[in-house]
Structure 1
């Protein structure tokens, strides 16, 4: 437990495993790391290592998993085949029971989107599709996409299943206190340097004539579509986001973290209807509703982003430089300036104060700060204002900002009153681990499981062998 508190669920020398997903590191330890494992005998390439419910684990799956781990910098000596097999068995168990649960739905459109983004990212990293196919030993792109689709769907099912297991796990203040008091004083976690940051953002204005041009283009596209043209083709040719490669296809729910105007328009449409052009925080859109599936919508959309001009960019830069001079000279506080001038509506009302999405509070460990501004933040004194910085949003639109360090917290041993939010997070995570462990033990008993060959000699934490 203490190792978990100190290392935040990282692997330890005695008990190590990889994680199933990136979701809050809520993946149980699968296999004890043992000093010696019975040597693996030679087997045919795709022998079956294990069966978990409706899923097979092939010897080649374990080989691929080892290769992937090694490409990520994990030494082959740090992981055993037993550990890898245990990891895969957990993943299959989650996915198997997710498939049996009628309340869990993972759409093919969602997985296709995930796979498209993954392929694009990997091609960018490795240099070309040819190199990527060679790395995965695939003859063509479709074969690679099919395999990645299968892997991504299984992982997504496992992730959703884990979410469901822990969704109702809550923790009381008294449980947090008990958790903290169980940790010996000389073993309490040490929290690294933390900072509180505020920022003031100025965005270049988009000239009205540019917005009018975009609306006109979208109206022309809409007219063509209503006359029988393909919405998907228009999206491929003209839409300015990642969904364009899929003809603008998306599956959305009311709970998705999308622009509220986008969702409002989408859920107001009838099947087959094409919306008029409308504005979101990212640009101008038209949407076509393909199908309603319960609480989900299958839609297509096109987005075009009006362009700023060199003149408005320069005006924005001059404006924020003037605001900075006012703050530095003492004419106005950073807090008041952010409330008065900032174009970032999410932070403007709090004087530009940033919220850490990981913890939900205002503190950031320096290691979690955006690398683009880390050096600026690390070198700032409290209440000092940075020089003007240029940044861009996820659609590529440039903007300017200044930042200030409102408070610095030096490295320190955990203190219950000062670090309650962090301690609560650790206590909740421990309780979530316990819920997952209980669920897994119960499901192993009721699931068909068969372990083959040398994997029967592995020393698993979970009772996969049902001894």
Structure 2
């Protein structure tokens, strides 16, 4: 029996979008205890001692899947804009079974959980949700049918922990898989010629970026301001967290009061930030220091072995109008030289561009997904596409004012250095793309093999209407 997605249960839209943006799989991922007393019916809640039998859709190892879990999974996908037309509930249910299988096997293999990371993630999620729902904790608890914030946090911890385990286990299965050049060639040659993929139009792009220079006076003003914060906290007992909420320009950490958890063995944040954080004593506030993102002060709250809980305030120096105009004048001069043929784009990039990542490549942009210089037109970021869509090969774009995480203002010009029209896959031209397809094919086969072997060795029970599903994997082996 095919269970269509058109029969989805309605979901409370007030909180669904906010919740699902932050949570991964929102299924109730309770772990069944080794010794479970007599099963009794109690509302629709499932805990370690009582379950509503008709609400349990499946059991995978130590995990249960409730009927409501699938509805939440579908609501999550819809909130993210996924197109579920033609996708059956059976197929989505199989996805839930897979996630529980990964999590169960991760526990069997003693995959370690970074508890501080999970706790930090829960805190970020709660603060983020409350930020979208105007701090309505009561409504959040009502949506989740929880009596207290503590109960909500416990459930969110389990959800995140099991999602973490599933991801770690999946990575463990495929991380060491590689493909040799001969395997890539064999993979390509085994594709019938009339079935070989077609790659869309691809462009090679280059850009020159000029960034307004920050004056020493502006830098010193920020240093003085941060020193004032430090003095007020140390001498007058002011709250570091309050100053974060009022002054920090790090929007990512502002909802959590500027908090990050650093690990000596797993680098996070830029080197300058880590070096300062790891040099502090508990309760100590650093002097102001500079990174590419601006100026910071750090409060070290707690050291737990290799884990450092820190809070920080980030402030970026102001740009003067004179500096902005000087940068604009310079890029206008560069563009004029290019249009008049006085210099090549690559030469101009190496001489004038302020973007370290591209200037020594003649301004050539690297595709962050494929790690080569080719950008497929239909998969290009909308903002970049809008800037180059009308450019002819070799033509110089107008001057664009842009920004990024580091720079409030930057000016840039772009050009198309090469164009490859729609074409069927060619081994020589498209080797990197074909290699990626070959790797994905090998990973899929490894996952299928792992699932087949692991399902055989794992207790799996599928209940009710889902026993009529035609799964790709052998989930019904015990039926």
Q: TM-score range by the shorter chain?
A: 0.7 to 0.9
1:264 aligns with 2:280: no
Deviation string 1:196-254 (CA, Å, 9 cap, x unpaired) is 11111111222221211111121222234444544333322322112122121112346
Corresponding position of 1:26: none
**1:271: how far off?**
4.0
| Count of equivalent residues | 421
Larger RCO: 1 or 2 (CA < 8 Å, sep 6+): 1
**1:149: how far off?**
5.9
Deviation string 1:89-125 (CA, Å, 9 cap, x unpaired) is 111222233345334536224423652586389x3xx
CA distance in 2, matches of 1:145, 1:194: 47
Corresponding position of 2:255: 245
Corresponding position of 2:129: 119
RMSD (CA atoms):
3.1
**1:413: how far off?**
0.4
Q: What pairs with 1:61-140 in structure 2 (closer than 5 Å)?
A: 61-72=69-80, 78-100=86-108, 101-105=110-114, 107-112=117-122, 115=125, 119=129, 123=132, 137=143
Corresponding position of 1:299: 310
Corresponding position of 1:179: 187
Change (3 A) 1:349 1:145: farther
CA distance in 2, matches of 1:153, 1:395: 32
Q: TM (normalized to structure 1)?
A: 0.81
Corresponding residue to 2:423 among 403, 408, 412: 412
CA distance in 2, matches of 1:304, 1:346: 24
CA distance in 1, matches of 2:417, 2:223: 42
Corresponding residue to 2:462 among 444, 451, 455: 451
Corresponding position of 2:217: 209
CA distance in 1, matches of 2:310, 2:459: 39
Gaps of 5+ in 2: 1-42, 46-54
Change (3 A) 1:411 1:77: closer
Corresponding position of 1:36: none
Change (3 A) 1:424 1:236: same
1:428 aligns with 2:439: yes
Secondary structure in 2 matching 1:444: helix
Corresponding residue to 1:321 among 332, 347, 370: 332
The answer as to whether partners of 2:122 and 2:156 remain within 8 angstroms in 1 is no
Deviation string 1:105-161 (CA, Å, 9 cap, x unpaired) is 36224423652586389x3xxx9777x969x94589969887666544443432232
Work out which of the two has the higher radius of gyration on C-alpha atoms and give 1 or 2.
Answer: 2
Corresponding residue to 2:242 among 233, 236, 243: 233
The answer as to whether partners of 1:196 and 1:362 remain within 8 angstroms in 2 is yes
Deviates more, 1:112-121 or 1:437-446: 112-121
Deviation string 1:42-98 (CA, Å, 9 cap, x unpaired) is xx9671111223332111111222334445555665232212211111112222333
**1:461: how far off?**
1.3
Corresponding position of 2:58: 50
Corresponding residue to 1:399 among 410, 414, 426: 410
Change (3 A) 1:148 1:201: farther
The answer as to whether partners of 2:394 and 2:415 remain within 8 angstroms in 1 is yes
CA distance in 1, matches of 2:79, 2:246: 36
Q: TM (normalized to structure 2)?
A: 0.79
CA distance in 2, matches of 1:283, 1:230: 22
